[in-house]
Amino acid sequence: MLSAAFGTHAAQEANDQKQMVDYFADNGFGNPLALVQAPAGIHENGVTYLTYQGTLEDPYVVAYNHNTGEWQGPIKAGFSELGKDNYWAPSGRPIDNHGKPTMIIDDLGYIHIFFGGHGGSARHGENPLGDVHDGKNKHIVSKKPYDISAWVELDNIPPFGNYNQAVKMDNGDIYLFYRHGAHESDWVYQKSTDHGRTFEAPISFLKHKQREDIEAVDSWYAWATKGNGDDIIITYDYHPCWSIHANNGRGHTTERHNAYYMVFNTKTGKWSNIEGDTFELPVTRELANEKTLVLDTGEKWTFNGSVHLDQNGYPHIGTNIGVDLGVKKTGGPKQTSHIRWTGEEWVGGTAVNPAAVNWGVDTRGDFFITSPTDITFALGYKEEGEGVVAYFNSKDGGETFEKQKELLRKGQSGWAMSAMITNAHPDARFFVAEKPKGEKEWRNLYLLGDNGAVMRAQEDADIRVK
């Protein structure tokens, strides 16, 4: 239930008397958001619910009522074993950032959040599907439907998860996708048929294994979402996890390559590629290259993005592509690029914001599709040192993009971006965290839509001083 005031016009009248700001909270911690943890926001019954990594990497939740203009929260919803100066996280360690929360709302209205894992730890036992690193993957659920005020922890998923993604099907079944451990681990999914109260055992769909030609282990980064009907659609890229002294002495880097796409029919249990060819799980590197390859990026590095279907049922993929500078462990700047299926072939792969290529800066973001030829990306990037979030629109199916509307600009800042909010209201399509130059920990968070930022009273948004 929502509070009594959370449904009246009293909130809007009160806001008229207060100093308003364009951020809704100031306690984002480290990298509070990422596309890979999705969804982090859901719009349902006129309310947008958001979750993010807050103080000491714990999950926080807010809710915004579009009819009244009232905010609720932030509320600390759970306890993460990452980011603590205690038994779970020794003093002096950097912010981990891998346990950011993911949200889903079941058919009964209960809000579920998955968070806190970076592969799990040896203290939780042996990982049967990979290696371990730190943290503990957790699952919490609201005590009441559509109510963010109180939460309970459920012990029904393995502790070894990382990069949680939740998908709810039309029949109410919930699928949880994640990497079952640290880098050298399978990607798996688990199914719940009782509104997330229990989950079936993990099933591997992407296989990690030692390569024979180089000192590296096949690894992956995936992004899953609901497709049409009974389908779940998945895009992913390939990560060679180099041994510590291999790779010409560089050891492990964030090197990733290519773009892939596949479909999981949850009714039949069949997995297939874009052309309908089926295959058995788990998918290996060899099978991925043979059956599901969308774009071979060669020597260029990637950073996996998202996938959405257009009105013809054809997938569009957003992925970041850049070059390896040969020095940085993270490679060079990567540009958000658009790829789509025409019904006959994959086309695209060029940068959405071509100017950023010349500036040598990263761009990152998600997109929504108005028609098969009308695509809008929301990108965060730097322009002459200033942090900008803007829409870039294509009217020709992604062949060209133009900057359409600037939504937010902050001096000397970078951005952490969420994926698009599920069933988004036009005024609240996604949210971002500002990373001011020189600030190592704290981030302001902004809820953005077609009209820019959703405002909030400063006395409610400034919670770190309370």
The catalytic residue positions are: 98, 163
Beta-carbon contacts of 458 under 8 Å, excluding residues fewer than 6 positions away, are 18, 19, 20, 21
Measured distance CA(266)–CA(171) in Å, rounded = 11
Answer yes or no: are the C-beta atoms of 444 and 432 closer than 8 Å: no
d(CA 462, CA 466): 8
Cα-based angle 320, 393, 299 (whole degrees, multiple of 5): 20
Residue 294: both structure tokens together: 């969308």
Q: Is the peptide bond before 74 cis (omega within 30 degrees of 0)?
A: yes
Closest CA relative to residue 38, chosen from 374, 366, 411, 343: 366
Neighbours of 240 (CB within 10 A): 20
CA triple 48-262-309, angle to 5 deg: 45
Say how far apart CA 145 and CA 142 lie, in whole Å: 7
Distance CA 166, CA 385 (A): 36
Vertex 32, ends 234 and 254: CA angle to 5°? 55
SS3 (DSSP) at 56 = helix
CA 398/CA 403 separation, integer angstroms? 13
The count of C-alpha atoms lying within 13 angstroms of the C-alpha of 197, restricted to the half-sphere facing its C-beta, is 7
Per the rule left: phi > 0, alpha: psi between -120 and 50, beta: everything else, 370 is alpha
- Element (DSSP H or E) covering residue 286: helix 285-287
